[in-house]
Amino acid sequence: MNINWRAVLTGFVVAIALGAFIAWAGPLTETSVYLLAMPGLVGGFVAGYMVSGAGSGAVHGALATIVGALVLLAILTVAAALFVGLVPAVAGASVAVLALFVQAIPGGVAGAVGGWMKGRRTREPVTEPTPR
């Protein structure tokens, strides 16, 4: 399968921007925690819409959800190991990796919907120029 890394990066940037806005907009409560799923869904949808087809969209949506987050997780784990200690940093990282794989499912589903919608959009008929 050919991976369109531009679509993956665009979906990740959209997810990060939306996640930062949601975190900035208000305090996290029990009911607002469901809003945290929205960045992964929207980022996966954007990545899936940039490619065509449900299968390719699902792969790109899942990648957009977790690839950049894995890089951020590695940086945060190193920082936590330096400031907190090795055992808490590894314990937190293992829980975070499990959470990333769980988040890949909604990103993949949203990517599949985005890829499917791009393939289903109506095309405008091509009109021939009129002769003079």
pLDDT at 2: 85
d(CA 41, CA 105): 9
- Residue 39 — pLDDT band, cuts 50, 70, 90? confident
Mean pLDDT of 30-45: 81
d(CA 112, CA 102): 16
120 pLDDT more than 80: no
Top pLDDT among 91 and 131 is at 91
What pTM did the predictor assign? 0.75
Residues 6+ apart with CB under 8 A from 128: none
Mean pLDDT of 78-107: 85
In 3D space, the residue among 23, 11, 22, 21 whose CA is nearest the CA of residue 106 turns out to be 11
pLDDT at 76: 84
